[in-house]
Chains A and B, each alone.
Chain A
Amino acid sequence: MSAPGQQPAEFRPAGTLDVSQALAEYRGPWDRRLAAHLLRRAGFGGSQAEIAAVADAGMQASVARLMHPQPDALPAAPDGDISYGPGPVVDPQQRRTAIIRTQLWWLNRCLHTPNPLQERMVYFWSNHFTSGINQKGITPQMMVDQYTLFRRFALGDYAQLTHEISRDPAMLHYLDGIANRAQHPNENYARELMELFTMGVGNYSEEDVRQAARAFTGNTVDRSTGMYAYNPRWHDDGVKTFLGQTGPFTGDAVVDIIMQQPATARFMARKFLRAFVYDDPEPELIDALAATFRASGYNTGRAMGVLLRSNVFYSERAYRALVKSPLEVAIGAMKMLGANEVGARTLGALAVMGQIPMQPPNVAGWPGGSLWLNTGTYLARLTYLRQLVMFKPAAQSNLATMAMNANMPSGMDPQIYTSPATHLGSPEMWVAGAVQNDPVSVGERIVDTVVQGDATAQQTSDILHYLSTDGVGNRVALSGENFEEKVRGGVSLAMALPAYQLA
């Protein structure tokens, strides 16, 4: 994703919106299909057990559970050293290890979190207030701290998060805040704060950018600790005129003034709707959610709570109306297949699919939507999913050679380094409940597990045909001998269905 600024074409669902009922509470029927929909949007997809639990609990109880994260036992930081070396000199091997460890730490949180919406919001905020690991002097520790900030404010106060991110070391590096001084302002953060983080273009002037840059001077990062620091000698305490108001503003004052602008709630409402409901949301829907968001004092939890209980969220227009990001494809598949730990080969595959975790292509983040899908990234998705489904842990005796051939940096675990995931559930588990020697029963179970039945009759029949024939078209029975191979093949075929690429 190298071209900055590309916006995807808008794909608004067919049909019309009844705005009077759109954000009202959904009281329609509840089933596994909608349970899976909720878990795809408010998390990274569900395991079979999780989908069943949400289907049983009902919408209200399930959303309430998602909205109230409980303390978790997952590591708060990567296990092991994430510095670039013992001294000031960067050790390239150790740098690779540190970056991989940090990326895998977060992906494993996405996979295992008992609070899927919380981690999903971390993903949302990381693609909103963007920074890139190992870019512009950003260390893995700074990224861990930034993601921890996003987790603290996942469903919290957006205005306060905007204040906090203005002092975040990774952000201060990423958008040149550390170079912004009274004597020589740097406009990078001030511009993106308004263009991409709060109001959007058209709501401020070039002069507002210059004035806001002056206000943020003084914020910096202590070189020895990597922590936020304020240097009053670098702060421009003169009078600024910003969005029509005049005073000796600081960065916090600028954020406060931005939060007084109606454009801010609208900008964020549109972003929530595009991330969680569908693309190109109707202006009246944006206005309705913006009113809720602003009235709540920018309480993200309030806006998300309304959205996840709403008629529009469970409507046919919103169902499968978004394109899965590579991260959703990978984590969702691992949850479905019962993976116990994300391996480094998943990182390589994600890069080819167009998404390096913790490293968005530019300050606007991953644009997503139609831009996730082209011939190259599509093949990368299919190739990765097939590798994952076919994965069996390598024999211990081969691991060292495999790791060496794959250029493993020092300090990595060979099993983690050479695998897409370290261990998967069994094909028997994937089709639990099916009659194991009946290809129709197994095939229908596969289509249900992978896409909740969202296939054409022809596609289901293609998969059944695969399960019941050999390579040259002769009928074969499902037996203990070919069961595992056939289920793996059938699942990877189902993952090639259009529905699987859609969230």
Chain B
Amino acid sequence: MSNRRQFLKQGVGAFAGFLAIDSIFGRAARAASAITAPGSAGVRTLVVVNLQGGNDGLNTLVPYGDPSYYRVRPTINIPAGDVLRIDSELGLNPNLAGLKALYDAHRVAILQGVHYPNPNLSHFRSTEIWQTAAPERIIETGWAGRYLDTAGLPKSDLFKGLAIGPILPKMLVADATDVPTVEGFRMGTFGGTRSEQAHADQILNGSGTSYPFQSPYLSLVQEVEHDANASANALPHLVAGYKPAVQYPATPFAQGLNLAAAVIAAGVGTKVIYVSLGSFDTHTGQRGTQDRLLQQFGDGMKAFYDDLAAHGLDGDVMTMTFSEFGRRVEENANRGTDHGTAAPIFVVGGAVRGGVYGDHPSLTDLDFGNLKWHTDFRSVYATVLQRWLGVAPEPVLGASFDTLNFA
């Protein structure tokens, strides 16, 4: 905490009042131009999509060639005639037409059977494991946060990481990097008269240090105040020059990707962006809920990559999905599925080696009714860190893992 505070005092806080607005923007823009000109190739971004709630893998990437699938899913299966065929065994859920178009253009890698040792069926713990990359113990930082801390990125960049939505996911919690959380193109600002705004800037930049009370949260509140004021002032400038090349669907997920594209196009050195979609927790009536969400996912991804391609950026952006777990192999009596284990991951982007990686887990050789995983999720993270973001995975993941060939 104190590191972040220190940096802020030296960086953002050094500018007072109105000066802060333009200075911060100027700093961000200068930092960006030092890396590359906005919109040009070279800055690689990772977008992580959380399919939250536990997405059922079997009805996402359907093993339609395996008769066992229709036995374990008598009422909620995807008929073989409906799947978007990938080969003679596997096909995508028919609502993933947008994703299938990207797959056919060799921009999608599908990684099968990914999970972690000793699967935990709690949403809470399992999500935490995926976000911290620490299955054996509870730690306070996220894997992407640790990457931002160790990547040697310019300290002055405000938008090294970005969380789209109302919360900062644990994945992006770091020791020394603050990641802004935004919900739309305009963040609220203090507003008010010129005099009020100037005094608010003064107060929000943390005037004085000698508080008449102690609180374990005081430094956090001050940091968030700084960053909130700074990023609210900077964001409209960053995205001002961006025009979407496609019409994004009107879903919150696609609108989040639209904002992600705008920030990427601004070229301010954004390395990791988090977006979420859900809830996939389909204990009852799975088909309706999951089909609707998968359509939002596929159509959103298609719009996002079409837009990025039009801006010449599709080769600079890799998108990776995760979900806390897949679901029970056998459907339950409520036309739904209960919490399970392994599920496929999608990796999308112009630089991805498209195709299907790894075998489909057996539907008959099960672990208490759940699929047996074969690929450790940290191998996927290691691949993204080493081959895409260009850093050594071990300091981030705490151990060495095999890398895969999708990137």
B53 at the interface (CB under 8 A from A): yes
Give which listed residue, B202, B276, B284, B368, contacts A176 with CB less than 8 A: B284
A9 at the interface (CB under 8 A from B): yes
| CA A7 to CA B209, docked complex, whole Å | 29
Taking CB atoms, residues of chain A closer than 8 Å to B140 are 9
Closest A residue to B218 by beta carbon equals A498
Give which listed residue, B182, B183, B215, B231, contacts A502 with CB less than 8 A: B215
Give which listed residue, B193, B208, B224, B324, contacts A459 with CB less than 8 A: B208
Can you report 8 A-B residue pairs in the complex whose CB atoms are below 8 A from each other?
A: A4-B324, A179-B334, A191-B121, A323-B217, A352-B188, A377-B166, A456-B210, A492-B196
> B169, A502: Cβ atoms under 8 Å?
no
Taking CB atoms, residues of chain A closer than 8 Å to B122 are 5, 191, 195, 201
| CA A471 to CA B18, docked complex, whole Å | 12
Least CB distance, A309 to chain B, in whole angstroms: 21
B149 at the interface (CB under 8 A from A): no
Contact A502 B218, CB 8 Å, known A7-B128, A379-B228: yes
Which one of B163, B166, B368 has the greatest number of beta carbons of chain A within 10 Å?
A: B166
A161 at the interface (CB under 8 A from B): no
* Contacts across chains A and B counted by CB atoms under 8 Å: 236
> A502, B180: Cβ atoms under 8 Å?
no
B165 at the interface (CB under 8 A from A): yes
Number of A residues, CB within 8 Å of B = 78
Closest A residue to B142 by beta carbon equals A6
> A317, B214: Cβ atoms under 8 Å?
yes
> A492, B192: Cβ atoms under 8 Å?
yes
A364 at the interface (CB under 8 A from B): yes
**10 further contact pairs, Cβ within 8 A, besides A186-B334, A279-B216, A370-B217:** A2-B279, A7-B138, A11-B220, A15-B214, A191-B121, A321-B216, A323-B217, A362-B279, A383-B190, A386-B191
Interface 1/0 per residue, B133-172 and A, CB below 8 Å: 0000010100000000000000000000001011111100
Which one of B52, B167, B231, B276 has the greatest number of beta carbons of chain A within 10 Å?
A: B167
> B203, A497: Cβ atoms under 8 Å?
yes
Interface 1/0 per residue, A463-494 and B, CB below 8 Å: 10110011100000000000000000100110
A278 at the interface (CB under 8 A from B): yes
> B214, A454: Cβ atoms under 8 Å?
no
| CA A390 to CA B192, docked complex, whole Å | 9
Taking CB atoms, residues of chain A closer than 8 Å to B180 are 374-376
Interface majority SS on B: helix, strand, loop or mixed? loop
A12 at the interface (CB under 8 A from B): yes
A378 at the interface (CB under 8 A from B): yes
Taking CB atoms, residues of chain B closer than 8 Å to A179 are 283-284, 332-334
Taking CB atoms, residues of chain A closer than 8 Å to B191 are 383, 386
> A362, B207: Cβ atoms under 8 Å?
no
Give which listed residue, A9, A471, A492, contacts B173 with CB less than 8 A: A9
Task: Give the residues from 359 to 386 in chain A that come closer than 8 angstroms, CB to CB, to chain B.
Answer: 362-364, 369-371, 373-380, 382-383, 386
> B200, A496: Cβ atoms under 8 Å?
yes
Least CB distance, B141 to chain A, in whole angstroms: 9
| CA A1 to CA B165, docked complex, whole Å | 8
Taking CB atoms, residues of chain A closer than 8 Å to B210 are 456-457
> B196, A454: Cβ atoms under 8 Å?
no
Contact A466 B195, CB 8 Å, known A5-B125, A370-B220: yes
Give which listed residue, B170, B196, B225, B338, contacts A378 with CB less than 8 A: B225
Least CB distance, A33 to chain B, in whole angstroms: 9
Interface 1/0 per residue, A177-210 and B, CB below 8 Å: 0010101101110010001000001000010000
Least CB distance, A41 to chain B, in whole angstroms: 14
Taking CB atoms, residues of chain B closer than 8 Å to A1 are 166-167
Give which listed residue, B199, B208, B220, B224, contacts A465 with CB less than 8 A: B199
> A184, B332: Cβ atoms under 8 Å?
yes
Taking CB atoms, residues of chain A closer than 8 Å to B207 are 456, 458-459, 462
Taking CB atoms, residues of chain B closer than 8 Å to A184 are 332-334
Closest A residue to B231 by beta carbon equals A375
Taking CB atoms, residues of chain B closer than 8 Å to A187 are 338
Which A residues fall within an 8 A CB radius of B?
Answer: 1-7, 9, 11-15, 136, 176, 179, 181, 183-184, 186-188, 191, 195, 201, 206, 278-279, 316-317, 319-323, 352, 354, 362-364, 369-371, 373-380, 382-383, 386, 390, 453-459, 462-463, 465-466, 469-471, 489, 492-493, 496-499, 501-502
> B188, A375: Cβ atoms under 8 Å?
no
Contact A4 B183, CB 8 Å, known A187-B338, A375-B231, A459-B208: no
Interface 1/0 per residue, B274-296 and A, CB below 8 Å: 00101101011000000000000
Taking CB atoms, residues of chain A closer than 8 Å to B95 are none
Least CB distance, B202 to chain A, in whole angstroms: 5
B221 at the interface (CB under 8 A from A): yes
> A382, B190: Cβ atoms under 8 Å?
yes
Taking CB atoms, residues of chain A closer than 8 Å to B231 are 375
> A373, B220: Cβ atoms under 8 Å?
yes
> B215, A375: Cβ atoms under 8 Å?
no
Nearest first, the 4 A-B pairs at minimum CB distance are A5-B124, A456-B208, A458-B208, A184-B333
Least CB distance, B339 to chain A, in whole angstroms: 8
Contact A13 B216, CB 8 Å, known A3-B131, A187-B338: yes
Taking CB atoms, residues of chain B closer than 8 Å to A499 are 211, 213
> B283, A186: Cβ atoms under 8 Å?
yes
> B222, A498: Cβ atoms under 8 Å?
yes
Taking CB atoms, residues of chain A closer than 8 Å to B225 are 378, 496, 498
| CA A342 to CA B216, docked complex, whole Å | 32
Least CB distance, B235 to chain A, in whole angstroms: 9
Least CB distance, B46 to chain A, in whole angstroms: 17
Taking CB atoms, residues of chain B closer than 8 Å to A457 are 208, 210
